[in-house]
Amino acid sequence: MSLVIPYAREDAGQPPSLYPDYRSTVLRSPRQPLVHIPPTLTEVTGPAGCWDRLMGDALADLTAQHRAPPQGQRIVVSGRVLDETARPVPDTVIEIWQANAAGRYIHSKDDWDAPLDPNFTGAGRVVTDGEGRYRFVTVRPGAYPWGNHHNAWRPAHIHLSLLGPGFATRLVTQLYFPDDPLIEIDPIANAVPMPYRQRLVVRFDIDTTVPNWALGYLFDIVLRGRQATPMEDDHGH
């Protein structure tokens, strides 16, 4: 599993630490070479195999956390976590967070005037099974404006955080939806060059779709190697 460092790795499949079109990277990217600090024992070890006891029950259905269903298009997002040789990675914590169907986050710093949904918190958590599989039920998030440039809108996306066997073995990334025109003009998405950017786009799957209930999408996460899933930016959008 990729080890998250303060700035993204500078290689072909990962977003660079400095991407001027994404304005906050100009202020936050390093001006000096990074200093490697060897991880300590507490960073490379952790409670693998007992996540349920540590974190509580899974929160796999984000549409069933409140008294009524949330607004928006119900969707199922599922897939597998794999290593560089396509072997499944079991017992991996996957956490997600997202905006609601109107493009509004529940946290206090989101002051856009889109409505909050009292029946949607936008956070979930599961642990992959023995075959590396996971499954979330949620609603498709809406696009929202952000202050990067004039008339800037973020495409619909869901953030993902994966925890491996140690606390420092963490991957943070995000997924997008196919045929979203905002992807092509989004500086965060475009910080990941093609064809690697396509690894961040889910695939519609009719077999995952639940009849008369929810659309289904597949999103496999590859932790290492030439097919690795690109990391998310370090700035939280």
What is the C-alpha R_g of the chain? 18
Set 19, 22, 105, 217: catalytic member: 105
How many other CB atoms are found less than 10 A from the CB of residue 112? 13
Clarify whether 36 is annotated catalytic. no
Q: Select which of 144, 176, 196, 217 is catalytic.
A: 144
> Which three-class secondary structure state does DSSP give residue 188?
helix
Catalytic residue check, 7: no
Report whether 192 contacts 15 (CB < 8 A). Answer: yes
In the residue annotation, 144 being an active-site residue is answered as yes
User: Which of 182-188's residues contact partners 24+ apart within 8 Å by CB, and which partners?
Assistant: 182/143, 182/153, 182/154, 182/155, 182/156, 183/155, 186/153, 186/154, 186/155, 187/19, 187/21, 187/22, 187/23, 187/148, 187/149, 187/152, 188/15, 188/22, 188/154, 188/233, 188/237
Asked about 159 being catalytic, the answer comes back as yes
134 is catalytic: no
Which of 74, 104, 159, 197 is catalytic? The answer is 159
Strands (E), 11-143: 74-82, 93-98, 123-127, 133-139
- Cβ-contact 120, 100 below 8 angstroms: yes
Q: Which of 157, 197, 199, 217 is catalytic?
A: 157
- Provide φ and ψ at 147, rounded to 5°: -90, 25
Length of the chain in residues, anyone?
Answer: 237
- φ, ψ of residue 187 in degrees (nearest 5): -65, -30
Instruction: Check if the beta carbon of residue 152 is closer than 8 Å to that of residue 145.
Output: yes
Catalytic residue, chosen from 9, 74, 140, 154, is: 154
Please give the positions annotated as active site: 105, 144, 154, 157, 159
